[in-house]
């Protein structure tokens, strides 16, 4: 478990947020690459507030890596304001 702790961002609770604030996450035309291997190319994602989502796929294709990238807000073009908490 300790080897994975560096992959998650620190937990932050923001009570006051200034400006235009949206809880939805919408990113078009993004690429997710890890260690030179492209996991997602020209991908799009839309996560709306209040909905539940699941990821289905074979082992080792990048489901958890995508979740880490979302939690760390590392996807180019992603709204950085929503608070994302990933629990293992």
pLDDT of residue 16: 63
Query: Could you report the per-residue pLDDT of 73-84, keeping only the tens digit for each?
Result: 889 888 887 778
Residues near 61 by Cβ (< 8 Å), separated by ≥ 6? 39
Name the DSSP letter for residue 11.
P
Name residue, tokens 């035309």. Answer: 29
The H or E element spanning position 26 is strand 25-34
pLDDT of residue 1: 43
User: What is d(CA 45, CA 43) in angstroms, rounded to the nearest whole number?
Assistant: 7
pTM attached to this predicted model: 0.70
Domain boundaries, the chain: 2-11+20-71
Rama region for 10: left / alpha / beta (φ>0; ψ in -120 to 50; rest): beta
pLDDT of residue 77: 87
User: What is d(CA 33, CA 67) in angstroms, rounded to the nearest whole number?
Assistant: 13
Query: Could you report the per-residue pLDDT of 24-68, keeping only the tens digit for each?
Result: 888 999 999 888 889 899 999 998 888 888 999 999 888 999 998
């Amino acid at each position: 478990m300790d080897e994975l702790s560096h992959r998650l961002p620190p937990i932050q609770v923001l009570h006051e947020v200034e400006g235009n604030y949206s809880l939805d996450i919408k990113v078009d035309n993004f690429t997710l690459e890890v260690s030179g291997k492209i996991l997602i190319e020209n991908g799009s994602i839309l996560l709306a507030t209040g909905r539940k989502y699941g990821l289905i796929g074979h082992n080792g294709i990048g489901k958890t890596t995508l979740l880490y990238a979302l939690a760390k807000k590392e996807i180019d073009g992603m709204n950085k304001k929503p608070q994302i908490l990933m629990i293992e």
